[in-house]
Amino acid sequence: MLSSATGIRVKTLEVSMKPITTLVCLPKMVCSSRQRTKLALVAQKGRVAKSALFATVLASCAGMSVIATAAHAQSFDAAWQQLQQVSDKLAASSAKVDRARAERDAGEDMNLPELSLNGSYTRLEKPLEMDLRDLNPMASLDPASLPPALGAALGSIPGELFITPFTEQDIFRASLSAMWPIYTGGRISAAQGIHEALLAEEEQQRELTRRELFTTLVDRYYGVMVAAELVRTQDKLVASLEKHVDHARKLEAHGQIAKVERLNAEVALDNARVQASSSRRQYEMTNIALKSLLKKAETPSSGLFIALSEPSLPQLAELTQKSHPALKLLDAKETQANGLIEVERGAYKPTVFLYGNYTLYEDDSLFAKMEPDWMLGVGFKMPLLSRDGRSGKVEAAHSALLQARHTKAQTREDLSLLLEQSFRQLRQAEEEYRALDSSRALAMENLRLRELAFNQGMSTSIERVDAELKLTAVDTQQLGAKFRYVQAYARLMAISGQLDEFIGQAQRASATMGEKQ
């Protein structure tokens, strides 16, 4: 798992599976000391092998102990298409992408002017009025100094004739106002760039989620295949041991073998039946895990495979370093940090804007008639002293940029290490699978000879059962190696972004299975 303080998480799957030797385990029997020791070792290996393989399958599948329902066959390609349609996790990531896209589109509107409709009602304590008698020269005029006739004439004029009303006591107004910033110190373009980078980040996060779901599907889908094959192997072992027990009873009846030999065969059969029942329960658990992922009961039809040609590690490394979504996500983080620096630097620069106002409704007062119906202008605002910590914000933005760059460098190293590790796990699994071919041939020949020797009374039941268990162990170990190969191959393809290449291999494996059937 690659993580950083920037909130980026690249989830990968670590798989560790111990070598498989056998599936069944046998209790102590009444036999010789050498035979008991030998059989105990076989039983111990069986317990370790079976638990190791099932632990890997169940860890990949996160199953539950519920009986699986009937399902129809589905190829891996079809399962992958279905998962992309029904996954709530992927849908949530897509919703975040849509949200970021909508915010990006909303940021484009910052280039547009702002137009608003304004309305108001105001009640004044008293109307605004002007009394001519309060103005010079009448304010400084002494009536006693005037001629009697003029003073009498002025005194006969009503006082309200000297008063001019400017407004009413109740004022109603409606207008349109506009403001258009034409220069903001680069803050608008920087904010738009941040929104674009946020969209790119969410798109890459969605791709990371998509690849994580792909590897999860590989684990659960092929985990069901492995569990089903283990069930078939156990059933085959039970059927073989049933024949062996039946034959042992006949030989005992004819006095060719001792009773203990027949008892050994029956105990081995009973334990094989218990293990077969356990295998079926495990198969049901892995089926439930796959069903919960796909929201539907499905039976995998694409088998395990070994690729015809080994992938090129240099080519995988080149593709990973060039196009991995975690690196692109960090590129978006770096772009956001650069944009944040520009925003904070713009706080030191002036803002220039156009503004205007148009009166839609006004009363019939003198003041309203004197006021113009519209006005236009240009203004600017230059911050001289602020308390928002502009210098500290610029420094923080620089730190965020350095953080993104260092995280990206570390992510490159981690991806290279993960790629190298997965590639070596792929090789190890393939080598183990191919090396077991000779072991399987030996186990089959050993079983054939032990069967003949037992039928002729020249071999014990324990030796016959031991040969059967060795063949089962080799088959199980080979199955485990093939499963680990597919898991490692899926991780390589997911890391390098070649999901279609894996699907192509799965389709060819499915076609091969169809031809064999």
Both structure tokens of 195: 């929104």
Predicted confidence band at 52 (pLDDT cuts at 50, 70, 90)?
A: very low
* Amino acid 45: pLDDT: 43
pLDDT tier for residue 454 given thresholds of 50, 70 and 90: confident
Q: What is the pLDDT of residue 372?
A: 83
Kindly tell me if the per-residue pLDDT of 380 is higher than 80: yes
Residue 140 pLDDT > 70: no
How confident is the model at residue 167, as a pLDDT? 75
- Model confidence at 72, pLDDT cuts 50, 70, 90, reads confident
Q: Above 70 in pLDDT, residue 160?
A: no
* Helix, strand, coil share of the chain (percent; to 5): 65, 10, 20
Name the band, by pLDDT with cuts 50, 70 and 90, for residue 309.
confident
**What is the reported pLDDT for 161?**
64
Most confident of 57-61, 69-73, 104-108, 453-457: 104-108
Q: What is the CA radius of gyration of the chain?
A: 43
| pLDDT for the residue 335 | 95
Q: How many CB atoms lie within 10 A of CB 152?
A: 11
What pLDDT is stored for residue 515 in this prediction? 54
Model confidence at 235: pLDDT above 50: yes
Q: Is the pLDDT of residue 280 over 90?
A: yes
Chain centre to alpha carbon of residue 140 = 87
**Which contiguous run of DSSP H or E holds residue 315?**
helix 313-323
Candidate CATH numbers 3.40.800.20, 3.30.450.20, 3.40.50.300, 1.20.1600.10; the one for domain 2-109+190-349+406-516? 1.20.1600.10
Pairing between β-strand 163-165 and β-strand 2-3 as defined by DSSP bridges: unpaired
Residues of the chain with pLDDT > 70: what percent? 78
pLDDT band at 66; cut points 50, 70, 90: very low
Q: Per-residue confidence at 191, pLDDT binned at 50, 70, 90?
A: very high
382 has pLDDT over 70 = yes
Where do the structural domains in the chain lie, given as residue ranges?
Answer: 2-109+190-349+406-516
Q: What is the mean pLDDT of residues 6-30?
A: 30
Cβ–Cβ < 8 Å for 460, 36: no
Give the per-residue pLDDT at 159. Answer: 58
Question: Which string of DSSP letters, residue by residue, matches 250-310?
Answer: HHHHTTSS-HHHHHHHHHHHHHHHHHHHHHHHHHHHHHHHHHHHHTS-EEE-SPP---SSP
Q: Read off the pLDDT of residues 244-258 as tens digits, 9 standing for 90 and up.
A: 899 889 888 988 888
Mean pLDDT, the chain, integer: 81
Task: Output the pLDDT for position 308.
Answer: 85
Helix ranges (H only) for 11-165 are 33-61, 76-86, 88-107, 148-156
Q: Which pLDDT score is estimated for 35?
A: 39
φ and ψ of 116, to 5 deg: -135, 150
Question: Token digits for 123?
Answer: 């009640």
The residue with greater pLDDT, 363 or 177, is: 177
